[in-house]
């Protein structure tokens, strides 16, 4: 950390759709990550590499993880006896368990389940669940580490690659609540695919190997193509060959599809069921289906039929049309296979896209290995399908691609997360030389009006230079798929300031879009650009040039300041810095922009500082870097690469085709063929 804070313990948390993994390492030697395997709700010497991402709200307590199934089991036992049970067990049913809510944290995710939680509900579940995990981990360490109370602990969270909106990721980080008085911090580390890649790097691969990493979990599948740039024994360094991509494809969707299939088969006998078909279907599936699913495709373990027992209250012992025989529901393997095949097809489409993209962008590179990780990645049937598809030579992969599965696939992400952080602490080495931007980021600005480009756009007339500007335009700093060096991307923007506003901060607004680069909107009135961040900029101590101050100038006096916007992209983080043309960092506060459901700002873009929540840091590590060389002549950092030179205006002075949003009155739409009228100053 740049503030001198260094953790004594690093804890990785892989919050998953079905289960959550926790691993840790400790200084000063930072040994290999060790997973936590003892959890509340397990009996005696039972261990588990992960804990279920489940919650159960009972009248008296909050249950989590393995405690939920234990409570439901107690409830079922109590309901079949005459003994008096507690209020916890009486209230607990299988459908009361809160699960599968991870993807609902993303406002862009569409959940087809009729009882799907809202995003606000999912945020509450996340806060409560992570709070339970945190308190248990603290208690676990208190019993394991002497003088733990005074130790500094860093909790590193991984996120899916499908979560591309930094507002959401930062909001989740802020949800993590720590005990007061403890020196604990929460940070967002690598994405799940990148963390899995770090874990993969320690498994006997050689320098220059090109690895297609596929982390298939419960809710999402993340893929990434990486070239190993380090030799064995050296700190891990990767050269990404594309941006990380993901899809909501995972084992949970198989569970949901099978549950819906069971509901359909139970429909004719629902009058005999003691509860709704939805609840009974989940109860019937239970651990029996989990074992069937995990063994699906395993040689020698194949079962031609999935047998699920019906509740004792069902009167119909046989219902051949629905596969019910002797109080059992029999589901043929072929029907389960159809569900598996649908999800496998979605996953292979994601892999095919990565292979095609590699051939387009790096035709000389050939994939050495396709490496599977994650819970779904360890599924025998998935592995068989992937091997059959990719190890067989085709026009896309003429030599075939060797398919491998990592050791302990369910722990690859959480252990890779800890390995990445401890490598930084030991060697100060960065795992990724550069990154490819997964989305496009831009700055809202005003462009000199061009009728060919800005027809129908809102305009303003600036009497200080007698020019008309189209307002709320977007200048894209980096486009989706652009290679971004670790030093970032920079661009210079002029800004006019009226004398009365010299001591007042102004607001720079940052937007993002997930559209392909050839479909990016040019203004906030087009496309899907979302306002994600507002930077409150203080230019009090920044050098300014006075304009229109001579006796012969008839236009109002103003000051011109040039602001360099610097964008740094991390695997799961985003940072904007503002610099003056002299190479000094400009003080700025960043805050998450408050928007409507479609990502549009609630306040007028470019007017005042309204429409934003209280200041909030988007990224928590500032980069100390001088933006000039010793002579003071260099406007940009020597290590800073400016992408797409035609889009970079490095001149600082004179007339500009664009500028940061003006500080004059509200913009006015000019009628066609009518004379533009300048608005009055505020």
Three-state helix/strand/coil letters over 576-601: EEEEECCCCECCEEEEEECECCCCCE
Question: Which of 404, 358, 346, 359 has its CA nearest to residue 225?
Answer: 358
Q: In whole numbers, what is the pLDDT of the chain averaged over residues?
A: 79
- Are 50 and 150 members of one domain? yes
Cα 228 to Cα 391: distance, rounded to the nearest angstrom:
21
- Are 421 and 490 members of one domain? no
Question: Which of 118, 78, 84, 83 has its CA nearest to residue 101?
Answer: 118
Q: Is residue 52 part of a domain?
A: yes
Average pLDDT over residues 321-336: 84
Range name among 111-125, 126-140, 392-406, 585-599 with the lowest pLDDT average = 585-599
Cis peptide bond prior to 302, omega within 30° of 0:
no
Cα 138 to Cα 149: distance, rounded to the nearest angstrom:
9
**Please, which pLDDT band fits residue 531 given cuts at 50, 70 and 90?**
confident
Cα 379 to Cα 137: distance, rounded to the nearest angstrom:
29
Cα 5 to Cα 621: distance, rounded to the nearest angstrom:
11
**Please, which pLDDT band fits residue 214 given cuts at 50, 70 and 90?**
very high
Which of 122-136, 220-234, 503-517 has the highest mean predicted lDDT (pLDDT)? 122-136
Question: Which of 546, 552, 547 has its CA nearest to residue 464?
Answer: 547
Last residue of a domain, one of 427, 451, 481: 427
- Are 111 and 157 members of one domain? yes
- State pLDDT tens for residues 364-396: 999 999 999 999 999 999 999 999 999 999 888
157: helix, strand or coil: strand
Rounded alpha-carbon distances, angstroms, from residue 203 to 197, 211, 440, 514: 10, 12, 34, 34
**Please, which pLDDT band fits residue 573 given cuts at 50, 70 and 90?**
low
Cα 479 to Cα 600: distance, rounded to the nearest angstrom:
20
**Please, which pLDDT band fits residue 125 given cuts at 50, 70 and 90?**
very high
Question: Which of 462, 457, 477 has its CA nearest to residue 535?
Answer: 477
- Are 524 and 649 members of one domain? yes
Residue 24, pLDDT score: 97
- Are 43 and 163 members of one domain? yes
Average pLDDT over residues 85-108: 72
Residue 301, pLDDT score: 66
- Are 423 and 486 members of one domain? no
Name which residue leads in pLDDT, 69 or 609: 69
461: helix, strand or coil: strand
Name which residue leads in pLDDT, 560 or 319: 560
Burial of residue 256 (CB within 10 Å: 0-12, 13-18, 19+) is: middle
Q: Is residue 642 part of a domain?
A: yes
Q: Is residue 675 part of a domain?
A: no
User: Does 600 score more than 60 pLDDT?
Assistant: no
**Please, which pLDDT band fits residue 603 given cuts at 50, 70 and 90?**
very low
Average pLDDT over residues 340-361: 94
Question: Domain containing 152 — which CATH number?
Answer: 3.30.420
Work out the percent of the chain whose per-residue pLDDT is above 90: 35
Question: Which of 410, 297, 406 has its CA nearest to residue 344?
Answer: 297
- State pLDDT tens for residues 448-470: 999 998 888 999 998 888 899 99
Angle at 297 between CA 267 and CA 226, to 5 degrees: 115
- Are 559 and 416 members of one domain? no
DSSP 681: P
Work out the percent of the chain whose per-residue pLDDT is above 70: 80
Domain that holds residue 652: 437-660
Confirm if 296 and 335 have CB atoms less than 8 A apart. no
Q: Is residue 183 part of a domain?
A: yes
The tokens describing 187, both together, are: 């940070």
- Are 71 and 29 members of one domain? yes
Last residue of a domain, one of 427, 462, 483: 427
Q: Is residue 395 part of a domain?
A: no
Average pLDDT over residues 41-53: 91
Q: Is residue 184 part of a domain?
A: yes
- Are 49 and 115 members of one domain? yes
How many residues in total does the chain contain?
682
Which residues are paired to 535 by β-bridges? 508, 590
User: Does 61 score more than 50 pLDDT?
Assistant: yes
- Are 487 and 633 members of one domain? yes
Q: Is residue 265 part of a domain?
A: no
Spatial CB neighbours of 442, under 8 Å, sequence gap ≥ 6? 474, 475, 476, 477, 510, 511, 512, 513, 520, 529
Name which residue leads in pLDDT, 11 or 530: 11
Cα 15 to Cα 610: distance, rounded to the nearest angstrom:
35
User: Does 663 score more than 80 pLDDT?
Assistant: no
User: Does 195 score more than 80 pLDDT?
Assistant: yes
- Are 499 and 423 members of one domain? no
The number of domains in the chain is 2
Q: Is residue 466 part of a domain?
A: yes
User: Does 637 score more than 70 pLDDT?
Assistant: no
Cα 71 to Cα 86: distance, rounded to the nearest angstrom:
10
Cα 498 to Cα 468: distance, rounded to the nearest angstrom:
17
Model pTM? 0.77
Residue 327, pLDDT score: 78
Last residue of a domain, one of 365, 396, 427: 427
- State pLDDT tens for residues 252-290: 999 999 999 999 998 888 888 888 888 889 888 887 888
- Are 444 and 468 members of one domain? yes
User: Does 79 score more than 50 pLDDT?
Assistant: no
């Amino acid at each position: 950390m740049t503030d001198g804070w260094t953790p004594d313990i690093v804890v990785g948390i892989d919050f998953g759709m079905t289960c959550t993994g926790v691993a840790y390492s400790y200084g000063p030697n930072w040994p290999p990550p060790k997973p936590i395997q003892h959890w509340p709700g397990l009996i005696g010497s039972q261990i588990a590499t992960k804990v279920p991402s489940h919650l159960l709200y009972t009248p008296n307590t909050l249950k989590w993880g393995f405690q939920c199934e234990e409570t439901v089991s107690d409830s079922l036992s109590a309901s079949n006896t005459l003994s008096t049970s507690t209020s916890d067990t009486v209230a607990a049913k299988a459908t009361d368990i809160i699960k599968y809510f991870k993807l609902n944290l993303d406002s862009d995710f569409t959940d087809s389940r009729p009882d799907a939680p809202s995003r606000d509900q999912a945020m509450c579940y996340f806060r409560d669940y992570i709070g339970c995990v945190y308190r248990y981990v603290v208690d676990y360490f208190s019993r394991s580490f002497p003088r733990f109370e005074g130790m500094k602990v860093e909790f590193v969270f991984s996120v899916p690659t499908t979560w591309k909106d930094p507002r959401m990721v930062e909001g989740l980080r802020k949800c993590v609540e720590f005990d007061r008085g403890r020196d604990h911090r929460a940070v967002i580390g690598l994405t799940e695919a990148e963390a899995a890649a770090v874990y993969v790097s320690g498994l006997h691969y050689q320098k220059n190997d090109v690895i297609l990493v596929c982390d298939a979990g419960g809710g999402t599948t993340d893929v990434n193509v990486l070239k190993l740039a380090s030799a064995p024994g050296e700190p891990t360094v990767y050269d990404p060959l594309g941006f990380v991509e993901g899809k909501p494809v995972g084992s949970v969707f198989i569970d949901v599809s099978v549950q819906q299939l069971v509901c359909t088969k139970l429909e004719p006998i629902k009058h005999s069921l003691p509860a709704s078909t939805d609840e009974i279907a989940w109860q019937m599936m239970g651990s029996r289906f989990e074992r069937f699913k995990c063994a699906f495709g395993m040689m020698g373990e194949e079962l031609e039929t999935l047998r699920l027992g019906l509740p004792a209250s069902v009167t119909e012992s046989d219902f051949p049309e629905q596969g019910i025989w002797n109080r059992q529901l029999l589901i043929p393997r072929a029907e389960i296979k159809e569900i598996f095949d649908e999800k496998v097809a979605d996953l292979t489409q994601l892999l095919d896209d990565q292979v095609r993209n590699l051939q387009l962008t790096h035709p000389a590179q050939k994939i050495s290995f396709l490496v599977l990780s994650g819970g779904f990645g360890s599924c025998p049937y998935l592995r068989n399908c992937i091997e059959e598809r990719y190890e067989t030579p085709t026009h896309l992969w003429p030599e075939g691609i060797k398919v491998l599965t990592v050791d302990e696939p369910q722990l690859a992400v959480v252990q890779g997360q800890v390995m990445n952080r401890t490598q930084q602490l030991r060697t100060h080495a960065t795992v990724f030389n550069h990154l490819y931007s997964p989305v496009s980021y831009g700055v809202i600005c005003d462009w000199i009006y061009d009728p060919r480009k800005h027809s129908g756009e809102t305009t303003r007339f600036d009497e200080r230079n007698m020019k008309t500007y189209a307002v709320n335009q977007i200048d894209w700093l980096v486009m989706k798929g652009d290679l971004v060096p670790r030093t970032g991307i920079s661009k210079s923007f002029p800004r006019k300031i009226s004398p009365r506003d010299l001591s007042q901060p102004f607001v720079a607004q940052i937007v993002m879009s997930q559209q392909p680069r050839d479909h990016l909107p040019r203004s906030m009135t087009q496309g899907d650009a979302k306002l994600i961040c507002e930077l409150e900029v203080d230019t009090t101590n920044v050098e300014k040039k006075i304009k229109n101050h001579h006796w012969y100038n008839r236009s109002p006096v103003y000051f011109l300041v040039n602001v360099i916007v610097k964008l740094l992209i991390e695997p799961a983080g985003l940072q904007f810095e503002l610099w003056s043309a002299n190479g000094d960092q400009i003080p700025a506060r960043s805050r998450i922009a408050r928007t409507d459901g479609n990502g549009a700002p609630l306040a007028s873009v470019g007017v005042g500082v309204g429409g934003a929540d209280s200041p909030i840091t988007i990224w928590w590590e500032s980069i100390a870097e001088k933006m000039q060389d010793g002579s003071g002549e260099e406007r940009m950092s020597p290590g800073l690469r400016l992408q797409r030179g035609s889009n970079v205006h490095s001149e600082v002075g004179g007339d500009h085709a664009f500028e940061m949003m003006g500080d004059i009155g509200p913009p006015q739409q000019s009628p066609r063929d009518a004379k533009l009228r300048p608005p009055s100053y505020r």
